[in-house]
């Protein structure tokens, strides 16, 4: 047996000769110490100032940038090489390195209107910043927004999902209610409720479906593939936590499955070893009747249908665009989901409004726009949005949506309500006695005579804002 001291030798540090004074000086010259001298504290006549000027930044102002900041026109920085955070006599030049592309697309963050004050909740989340959960074998993907990324969006969460032709969103159910708008393509949806009533339907771009909590369902893309938007009535909902058929089978003993289905244990030898979630499948038959399985309870009554062919509903045309509404008045099963699909022409405005009984969850389907969120008594923040962005406006907080692009802006507004309602700022002021309005807002008679008593929903652009 080795002496204890010798057995410890491999674990002892290697000893080196102490450095000489000359070696220490050489090392200090080549490698400055991590911390500086106390002599660097405070003022000293030896303090050095930079000789690199931050003045003289070359830039070009865009239309509206010289006007009164309270006018707050949209600043289009898209073709500007070096945009600057200037509005009228407010702001100043920026000579630092920065993400200029972000400044160009979010000019109201970079050079906010003079009407902004303080900071509201973060009412914006780009789905492009969400983790994309990829399906198997090229079958599709899904990305979501919830309170993990928008902490104040507590009432609703959303998922943008894509299925390739023939692909499935696996058989599953949720604790939350699921409301959906088909963004493009077509799919077949199927469900069985707690009474054993069955349901199957084909839905296409612009159609809506709804599945109550706990009702198991599946989705399969048809030949064109499909992309759809899912909205859930719980801001903390996560698409990662759904109840999947594959998991149910994996998490129960095969002996129990055998008893439950009255099948030999060998029947379950090939069940999945991992969740499927989004996966390729056998093409759906053209004849939907082939998949219309029924029980003794029969099919789901039409008045309780889980789908609504919203795509076939004509839009209500107004001066600046159009609007159409689906809510429990016409789609009864979705008892607490009310939605408006709004189109705003270039330069137009979804009028200033608020919802007295619900938060608003909004998805930008096409185009780009901006909105100012106002929270009492005096806080306001202006946000710029693009297709794929989520907006969230709390109950009774006023907002508008202005089309700042050169194509149609299409947005979906979703409420947790049994009827889609809003309060229009224009209708409120227009329906209030003119004397009260004049005394309160000091509007001239020429303006008072033009106020409207009816909701406009969407107003056209082109009014003179006296901007430069």
Q: Which residues contact 73 (CB under 8 A, 6 or more apart)?
A: 63, 64, 67, 465, 467
Q: Which of 79, 110, 141 is the last residue of a domain?
A: 110
Q: What is the pLDDT of residue 6?
A: 41
Q: Is the residue at 451 inside a domain? A: yes
Q: Are the beta carbons of 411 and 442 closer than 8 angstroms?
A: no
Burial letters for 76-108: b for 16+ Cβ neighbours within 10 Å, e otherwise? Answer: bbeebeebbbbbeeebeebbeeeeeeebbbbbb
User: Both 196 and 251 in a single domain?
Assistant: yes
- What residues are designated binding site for Mn(2+)? 172, 174, 178, 217, 353, 355, 360, 399
User: Both 351 and 408 in a single domain?
Assistant: yes
Residue carrying structure tokens 């900041």: 69
Q: Is the residue at 122 inside a domain? A: no
Catalytically annotated residue among 55, 273, 413, 445: 413
Q: Among residues 426, 395, 425, 391, which one has the least CA distance to residue 411?
A: 391
Q: Which residues contact 58 (CB under 8 A, 6 or more apart)?
A: 82
Q: Is the residue at 1 inside a domain? A: no
Structure tokens given for 294: 């029924």
Name the phi and psi angles at 440, rounded to 5.
Answer: -85, -50
pTM for this predicted structure = 0.88
Q: What is the pLDDT of residue 96?
A: 83
Per-residue pLDDT of the chain (468 residues; tens, 9 = 90+): 444 434 444 444 444 455 555 555 555 556 788 999 999 999 999 888 887 777 778 899 999 999 999 999 999 999 999 999 999 999 998 888 788 999 999 999 999 999 999 999 999 999 999 999 999 999 999 999 999 999 999 999 999 999 999 999 999 999 999 999 999 999 999 999 999 999 999 999 999 999 999 999 999 999 999 999 999 999 999 999 999 999 999 999 999 999 999 999 999 999 999 999 999 999 999 999 999 899 999 999 999 999 999 999 999 999 999 999 999 999 999 999 999 999 999 999 999 999 999 999 999 999 999 999 999 999 999 999 999 999 999 999 999 999 999 999 999 999 999 999 999 999 999 999 999 999 999 999 999 999 999 999 999 987 555 443
User: Both 403 and 416 in a single domain?
Assistant: yes
Q: What is the pLDDT of residue 27?
A: 55
Told to judge if 413 belongs to the known catalytic residues of this protein, a careful annotator would answer yes
Q: What is the pLDDT of residue 19?
A: 55
Q: What is the pLDDT of residue 57?
A: 83
Q: Which of 271, 293, 308 is the last residue of a domain?
A: 308
Q: Which of 308, 328, 349 is the last residue of a domain?
A: 308
Q: Is the residue at 124 inside a domain? A: no
Domain count, the chain: 3
| Structural Rg of the chain based on CA atoms | 31
* Furthest-apart CA atoms within the chain: distance in Å: 109
Q: Are the beta carbons of 321 and 348 closer than 8 angstroms?
A: yes
User: Both 321 and 298 in a single domain?
Assistant: no
Euclidean distance between CA atoms 374 and 117, whole angstroms:
9
Q: Is the residue at 39 inside a domain? A: no
Q: What domain range is 103 assigned to?
A: 69-110
Q: Is the residue at 277 inside a domain? A: yes
Burial letters for 143-177: b for 16+ Cβ neighbours within 10 Å, e otherwise? Answer: bbbbbebbeebebbbbbbbbbbbbbbbbbbbbebb
User: Both 291 and 328 in a single domain?
Assistant: no
In Å, how far are 75, 108, 321, 363, 369 from 407, measured between CA atoms?
A: 17, 20, 12, 17, 10
User: Both 93 and 170 in a single domain?
Assistant: no
Q: What is the pLDDT of residue 303?
A: 95
Q: Which residues contact 268 (CB under 8 A, 6 or more apart)?
A: 249, 254, 257, 258
Q: Is the residue at 76 inside a domain? A: yes
User: Both 375 and 300 in a single domain?
Assistant: no
Q: Is the residue at 58 inside a domain? A: no
Q: What is the pLDDT of residue 56?
A: 79
H or E segment at 225? strand 217-232
């Amino acid at each position: 047996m080795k002496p204890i001291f010798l057995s410890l030798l491999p674990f002892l540090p290697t000893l080196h000769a102490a450095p000489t004074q000359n070696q220490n000086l050489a090392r200090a010259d080549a490698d400055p110490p991590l911390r500086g001298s106390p002599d660097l504290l405070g003022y000293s006549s030896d303090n050095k100032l930079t000789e690199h000027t931050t003045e003289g930044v070359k830039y070009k102002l865009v239309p509206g940038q010289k006007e009164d900041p309270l006018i707050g026109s949209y600043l289009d920085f898209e073709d500007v090489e070096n945009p600057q955070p200037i509005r009228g006599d407010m702001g100043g030049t920026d000579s630092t390195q920065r993400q200029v592309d972000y400044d160009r697309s979010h000019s109201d963050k970079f050079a906010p209107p003079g009407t902004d004050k303080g900071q509201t909740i973060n009412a914006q989340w780009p789905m492009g910043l969400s983790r994309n959960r990829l399906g198997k074998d090229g079958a599709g993907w899904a990305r979501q927004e919830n309170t993990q990324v928008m902490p104040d969006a507590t009432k609703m969460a959303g998922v943008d999902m894509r299925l390739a032709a023939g692909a499935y969103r696996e058989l599953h159910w949720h604790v939350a209610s699921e409301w959906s708008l088909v963004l493009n393509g077509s799919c077949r949806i199927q469900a069985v409720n707690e009474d054993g009533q069955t349901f199957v339907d084909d839905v296409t771009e612009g159609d809506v479906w709804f599945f109550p909590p706990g009702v198991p369902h599946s989705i399969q893309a048809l030949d064109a593939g499909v992309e759809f938007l899912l909205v859930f009535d719980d801001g903390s909902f996560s698409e990662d936590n759904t109840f999947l058929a594959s998991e149910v089978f994996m998490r129960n003993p095969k002996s129990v499955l055998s008893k439950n289905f009255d099948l030999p244990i060998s029947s379950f030898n090939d069940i999945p070893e991992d969740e499927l979630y989004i996966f390729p499948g056998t093409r759906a038959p053209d004849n939907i009747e082939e998949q219309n399985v029924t029980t003794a309870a029969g099919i789901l009554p039409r008045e309780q249908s889980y789908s609504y062919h919203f795509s076939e509903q004509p839009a209500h045309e107004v001066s600046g665009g159009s609007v159409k509404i689906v809510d429990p008045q016409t789609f009864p099963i979705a008892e607490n989901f009310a939605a408006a699909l709004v189109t705003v022409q270039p330069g137009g405005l979804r009028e200033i409004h608020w919802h007295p009984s619900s938060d608003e969850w909004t998805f930008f389907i096409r185009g780009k726009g901006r909105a100012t969120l106002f929270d009492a008594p005096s806080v306001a923040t202006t946000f710029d949005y693009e297709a794929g962005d989520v907006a969230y406006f709390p109950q009774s907080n006023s907002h508008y949506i202005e089309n700042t692009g050169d194509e149609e802006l299409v947005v979906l507004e979703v409420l947790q309500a049994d009827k889609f309602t809003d309060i229009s700022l224009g209708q409120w002021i227009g329906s209030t006695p003119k004397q009260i309005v004049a005394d309160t807002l000091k509007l001239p008679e020429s303006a008072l005579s033009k106020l409207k008593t009816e909701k406009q929903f969407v107003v056209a652009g082109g009014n003179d804002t006296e901007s430069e």
